[in-house]
Amino acid sequence: MRLKGKVAVVTGGSRGIGRAIALALAEEGADVAVNYQRNEAMAREVAQAIERTGRASDIYQADVSDPEQVQRMRDAVLKRFERVEILVNNAGINRDKSFAKMDDDTWRSVISVNLNGVFYCTKVFLDGMAARGYGRIINISSIVGQMGNFGQANYAAAKAGLLGFTKSLARELAGKGITVNAIAPGFIATDMVSGVPDDVKQKILAQIPLRRFGEPEEVAKAVVFLGSEDASYITGQVLNVNGGMYV
Ligand code: NAD
């Protein structure tokens, strides 16, 4: 119960890593606002699973790349929970194409969700954290932002951008009692990697010293740690959860 009494928001919390994060935060005692974009039924299932653990939860529809929708989500979350101590910026997409084929729309859509979305969500929840002198912001970046990847110039740029954002914000907000950290997952078994062809999967596995893809729960445990008092002296850091693929 390391997060007892805390309120958390998880963007993109209806499936994959975000779902595992929302459930893990609740298991440690946090009430959780689950943001989703389209799949209300899956988001509701996550909120119900959280309520079964005895914590409060609700679902909030918003496209994180739309500042007006993010503002409305903030208003609704604060109406229900009054405050937010932990913000997990998890929502993300990929639109992979070699750079030669990458058009303006493919570039912009990934930057809009993965980078601008983090800016908008952080903006709206920051004031309350600063006013109370306490906050935990955890940004889900990627190993691809550290290593680059063929066909992912847009995604890598956004995820690398998140690391610069995290480090800058950590410096700006430390005096207000807010820590800001990033997690850089390697290849995690979710919908995002399930579409990768088998031969490519084998090539990726060969590069992972632990010889397997990670599980969403293994990323969620790192989020719980960074969101807890155990990480009180950690800010501006990138925590790699990648099976040793990038060291
Ligand atoms: P996923 O596709 O299963 O989940 C992504 C979630 O983000 C979904 O719930 C989706 O609805 C939501 N989302 C997408 N666009 C949104 C928007 N505009 N507004 C609100 N929500 C939106 O993928 P995942 O693997 O669970 O990825 C979660 C995060 O982890 C992403 O930021 C991803 O880039 C990152 N990541 C994943 C891996 C991996 O191997 N799976 C590796 C490194 C980083």
pLDDT tens-digit readout, 64-114: 999 999 999 999 999 999 999 999 999 999 999 999 999 999 999 999 999
pLDDT of residue 4: 98
Q: What is the mean pLDDT of residues 176-189?
A: 98
User: Which of 59, 182, 178, 167 lies closest to 128 in space, CA to CA?
Assistant: 178
Interatomic CA distance for residues 114 and 213, integer angstroms? 22
Q: How many residues would you count in the chain? A: 247
Q: Is residue 157 a part of any domain in this protein?
A: yes
Number of structural domains, the chain?
1
Ligand 1 centroid, distance to 178 Cα (angstroms):
24
Q: Is residue 1 a part of any domain in this protein?
A: no
Q: Is residue 247 a part of any domain in this protein?
A: no
Q: Is residue 216 a part of any domain in this protein?
A: yes
Q: What angle do helix axes 216-227 and 16-27 make, rounded to 10 degrees? A: 50
Share of the chain above pLDDT 70, in %: 100
Q: With a threshold of 0.85, does the pTM exceed it?
A: yes
pLDDT of residue 194: 86
CATH number, residue 174: 3.40.50.720
Q: What is the mean pLDDT of residues 132-141?
A: 98
SS3 225: helix
Q: Is residue 2 a part of any domain in this protein?
A: no
* Nearest ligand 1 atom, CA 94: 34
Find out whether 76 and 86 touch, Cβ atoms under 8 Å: no
Respond yes or no: is residue 155 known to be catalytic: yes
Measured from CB, residues less than 6 Å from any atom of ligand 1 are 11-12, 14-18, 35-37, 63-65, 90-93, 113, 117, 140, 142, 185, 187-188, 190-193
Ligand 1 centroid, distance to 162 Cα (angstroms):
14
| Domain range for 166 | 7-241
Mean pLDDT taken over the chain:
98
pLDDT of residue 92: 98
Share of the chain above pLDDT 90, in %: 97
Looking at the predicted structure, is the pLDDT value of residue 193 above 90? no
Ligand 1 centroid, distance to 175 Cα (angstroms):
31
* Helix or strand (DSSP H, E) at 117: helix 117-132
pLDDT of residue 192: 84
180-215 burial, b at 16+ Cβ within 10 Å, e below that, comes to: bbbbbbbbbebebbeeeeeeeeeeeeeebeeeebbe
Half-sphere exposure of 35 (CA within 13 A, CB side): 27
pLDDT of residue 196: 87
Q: Is residue 169 a part of any domain in this protein?
A: yes
Q: Is residue 212 a part of any domain in this protein?
A: yes
Q: Is residue 246 a part of any domain in this protein?
A: no
What torsion do the CA atoms of 225, 230, 232, 237 make, to the nearest 10 degrees? Answer: -40
